[in-house]
Structure formats: structure tokens, C-alpha cells
Amino acid sequence: MGSHKAAPDQRPFVITRAGWAGIQKHALVWTGDNSSTWQHFEDSLQTLLNLGLSGVPFCGCDAGGFLDNCTPELFIRWMQCAAFTPFFRAHTNTGTIDHEPWSFGPAAEAIVRHYIGLRYQLLPYLKALFVEATHSGTPIMRPLFWHYPDDPVAAQIADQFLLGRDLLVAPIVRQGAVARSVHLPDGDWFSYWTGEKIAGGQQVVAHAPIEFMPLFVRAGALIPFREIQQFTGERPLKEVTLHLWPGGMSSLRWSEEDGVTNRHADGDRTERELIHSSGAKGGRLVIGRAVGSRKSSVRYWRILLRGTTTRVRATVNGRRVDVHHDPGSGIAVWKFANRSGEVVIEWEQLNRRSRHPVRTGRPGP
């Protein structure tokens, strides 16, 4: 390829709208020139899910549509959804109105900015999903039946999807809608926005005023976050916040490399396995020993435990750590310095009558 000849030590970034078996080795695929209509928005979900199932995990569409003029409502709803797709961009044709976050007024800009910021925070999670796709071909954006093959309702759902195993995205694809029916597969789920725990295996009505898109997290999830950036690479990754939802098990492969060159193929990277299991009374997270020649940029791991009903006591490799607990949000937070060896984090929810001292206060974002 010409890009390899021009910059042999750099990873190429190629976008295509067409290809054949094996195209995923050379380019990401976007869905071509779509229109600014609700129908094309809804159709894009099925197109992207089918691309993932066809072995093309890195895919996306022109959020807001390329042809015609988008409306503020459609732009907001499309951008909310597209923030959770592997390839995320807004685009538009010559001769149409601008499709920028600030093109539809301050209210639309604020909503879209929030979802773009959430996308930046989720980049470590997306990175882990890309690593998984590289090793196994697993789609990043997955139909519900990928993880719930015995659920007959999941097999028929075309307007919801899973980002990885743990995030269930239910976009608003109808003009004027401020609520929608959402199918939650078996197991417990949490509303990302409110923290409410909801039993799965049922249809629920999710309220969705214009500023909210229904978003749910699987019980037992482990999702790494970072701080908001204005562009990728603005700041090195020094602190990672691991969001943990109780009630199950999860794992991911953590990987760090320079993100630009091909040196990772020669061992210039660091990897470690993260394994989480938890229940109503407590849990355990193991951060495996770092493997690879590259030194991690991460200085601190920050644990943000969701769904707590009482105060929490935590240890890191057997040593007690200070826990900040906010009873109003049900969130407990603690942090510790990174190290290359194995790290075992354990916690328990204390009996309400326990006299063990635990710091309380509102955790940071």
C-alpha cells in the first residue's frame, strides 16, 4: 500500500465504503452517502451490526446524514447514538447546512458536547474492545443475540445494540419520541443515568427527554474511563477510573502502546488482564501482572463502585485504603498507585451498625 511506502513505521488510517472479505485488515468501513432522515438513521444500526457480524468491526456512518439538511432533533438523537459506534463522525454534503455540534443552537450544542465528552471518557473501554476484535474478530458493536442466543426476543431486536458485552444502547429513532420500549435480556441491569437496578428478561419503558438516550449497564460490568480530552493524545493517560457494577463477573485485556507506530508488533507494549467478580455483599478485582517491555503511563487506578447500599471497606493487596462513600448516589470511590506486579482489590459492604471508620463525601466525576 502507498501509505506503508510513504511512512513505513506509521500505522495507516484508511476509510473505505466498499471492499471484500479481508477488507478489515486494511481499512475501516463507513456506510457511504446517507440522507438526513429518521429512516436512514434507523437503517444505519442494522447496517453496522451486519458489518460487525461480517468480520468488519471498525465501522460507522455519517452521523446526521450526508445528503439533505438535518434538523436539530435528528442531529441530537443521531449523535447520541453514534457516540457509541466504533467509528464516530458527523459529515455533510456541499450545498447543505453545516452539521457541526454548534450548528443547531446552544441547547443542541450542550447536549451533543456531553455525549462527545462521554465518548472520550470511554476510549479505554473502546480500546479494549478493539484489542479483543483484533485477537478474535469479535464485533465491537454487537446485536443482542451475540451474548443472548437463547433469547427469542433478542434475535428480533434491530434498534438496540451492545457496545462490548456490558453497555446496552437503546437509541431514540422516532421523531418526537420522549420514551421507548427497551428489551433487557436475562440478568440484572443498571440505568447508567440514575443507577437504578432493573431485573432483566423483560421489556421496560425508558424515559428519554431530548437530553437523554436510554443507556444500561450489565450487572457485573467492568468499564474503564479516563478524563475528558479535547482531542485524542491531548494528555497522557495517567489515571484510569474503573467503574464497577456489582452482581456478576467480567474481564478485559488492558493494553498500552504508542498508538502511532508499528512497534507494538515487536513487543513495545504492555498488557495485563483485569478480572472482576462481585455480589451484593462485596467483590474482588484482580489486575494481573504487566507483561511487555513498555512502561505503563498509568500512575493511579481509581475504583468507582456503583450500586452500594451501605458503607464500603476496601483493601489493596491486603492493606486497607480510604474509601469515600456517597450514600445519595450509592457510589464508593478509592484509588491507589499503579504497579507492575499483580494487584488484588477486595471490598465488602459493611453492616449498617459497623463501627469501622469509612470516610464519607461526594466522589468526583
Q: Confidence class of residue 280 from pLDDT cuts 50, 70 and 90?
A: confident
- Bridge partners (DSSP) of residue 335 are 302
* Long-range CB pairs of 192-200, under 8 A, 24+ apart, other chains included: 192/167, 192/216, 192/217, 195/306, 195/307, 195/329, 195/330, 195/331, 197/247, 197/307
The CA-based dihedral angle spanning residues 306, 311, 316, 321, taken in that order and rounded to the nearest 10 degrees: 120
- The answer to whether residues 349 and 246 touch, using CB atoms and an 8 Å cutoff, is no
Percent of the chain topping pLDDT 90: 86
pLDDT, one tens digit per residue, over 260-270 is 888 888 888 99
pLDDT at 252: 95
User: Does residue 360 have a pLDDT over 60?
Assistant: no
pLDDT, one tens digit per residue, over 281-299 is 999 999 999 999 999 999 9
Pairing of strands 248-256, 270-278: antiparallel
Q: Confidence class of residue 12 from pLDDT cuts 50, 70 and 90?
A: confident
pLDDT, one tens digit per residue, over 104-141 is 999 999 999 999 999 999 999 999 999 999 999 999 99
pLDDT at 2: 77
Cell of 12: 495507516
Q: In order of start, what are the domains of the chain with their CATH numbers? A: 2-136 (3.20.20.80), 141-218 (2.60.40.1180), 222-349 (2.60.40.1180)
pLDDT, one tens digit per residue, over 29-78 is 999 999 999 999 999 999 999 999 999 999 999 999 999 999 999 999 99
Q: Confidence class of residue 1 from pLDDT cuts 50, 70 and 90?
A: low
DSSP assignment string, 305-339: E-S-SS-EEEEETTEEE--EEETTTTEEEEEEE--
pLDDT, one tens digit per residue, over 73-90 is 999 999 999 999 999 999
Residues 7-34: what's their mean pLDDT?
90
Half-sphere exposure of 204 (CA within 13 A, CB side): 20
pLDDT at 105: 96
CA 99 to chain centre: 24
* Spatial distance between the Cα atoms of 40 and 42, rounded to a whole number of angstroms: 5
Q: With CA atoms as reference, report the closest residue to 120 among 287, 273, 252, 235.
A: 235
Q: With CA atoms as reference, report the closest residue to 57 among 83, 87, 82.
A: 87
CA 239 to chain centre: 17
pLDDT, one tens digit per residue, over 142-190 is 999 999 999 999 999 999 999 999 999 999 999 999 999 999 999 999 9
Task: Cell 502507498: give the residue.
Answer: 2
List the Cα angle 112/200/254 in 5-degree steps.
Answer: 60
Residues 223-252: what's their mean pLDDT?
96
Mean pLDDT of the chain: 93
Percent of the chain topping pLDDT 70: 96
